[in-house]
Chain A
Amino acid sequence: DAGVTQSPTHLIKTRGQQVTLRCSPKSGHDTVSWYQQALGQGPQFIFQYYEEEERQRGNFPDRFSGHQFPNYSSELNVNALLLGDSALYLCASSLAGRGVDTDTQYFGPGTRLTVL
């Protein structure tokens, strides 16, 4: 049973470019959350997808968008990259609507994005 996988593992882009990051959730999970973790800080919530729709969103600009596919995998897109977008991007999957005790989020290894 594969856990949460993310691709690519590392990525280097220049300012103004666009990037797409990908996440496959743990088998059986239907909810995907994306987080941004700047160096030396805790992760910050970007958004969450459930049933192919954005269910919740954190304080991130519209340059950050996403998508969830019928197989529950998800993409995070960032347009017009800024130097400050350099961070580790983490994906976490969970199973919706099962209550507190079962709503554990499983994290992927992350994609490290560097913007030059």
Chain B
Amino acid sequence: KNEVEQSPQNLTAQEGEFITINCSYSVGISALHWLQQHPGGGIVSLFMLSSGKKKHGRLIATINIQEKHSSLHITASHPRDSAVYICAVRSMASGSRLTFGEGTQLTVNP
């Protein structure tokens, strides 16, 4: 079992829909990252969380440390949101190295 599990693996939505991507992890962590990867490979950091909730524009990230679970929400989705969304954790034992989930491929159709 991977230390970081994401669901769903693939997600197709219509423009305007509310989207949720989930991440569960099995280790104690010091921080959790949500990352966005577009075709071609470049990775952009969206959020880094250690507790609670963060919001940036139409993106919201939440984390429940007790349940070892995080969610990334996208409100009013748009075709330009189409990308791979990756959850990554920094475990308490691993310093600053990140352990990644396998990603969620999101496609938003117009």
Contact = CB atoms under 8 A, between A and B. Distances in A.
A7 to B, nearest CB: 14
Q: For this complex, into which size category does the number of interface residues on chain B fall?
A: 20 to 34
B97 A48 contact: yes
B23 to A, nearest CB: 11
Contacts of A45: 97-99
B102 A105 contact: no
Which one of A31, A105, A109 has the greatest number of beta carbons of chain B within 10 Å? Answer: A105
B96 A107 contact: no
B96 A94 contact: yes
B30 interface: yes
Contacts of A92: 43, 98
Nearest to B40: A109
B42 A48 contact: no
Interface stretch (A11-19, A68-76, A96-104): A96-104
A90 B37 CA distance: 12
Interface string B24-49: 00000011010100001111110010
A44 interface: yes
B100 A42 contact: yes
A42 B103 contact: yes
13 contacts: A33-B98, A35-B98, A35-B100, A45-B97, A56-B94, A56-B95, A88-B41, A106-B45, A107-B44, A109-B41, A109-B42, A110-B41, A112-B41
Given A33-B97, A56-B97, A109-B42, 16 more contacts: A35-B100, A37-B41, A42-B100, A43-B43, A43-B86, A56-B95, A88-B41, A90-B43, A94-B96, A96-B96, A100-B48, A103-B31, A103-B90, A104-B33, A105-B96, A106-B45
Interface of B: 4, 30-31, 33, 35, 40-45, 48, 50, 86, 88, 90, 94-103
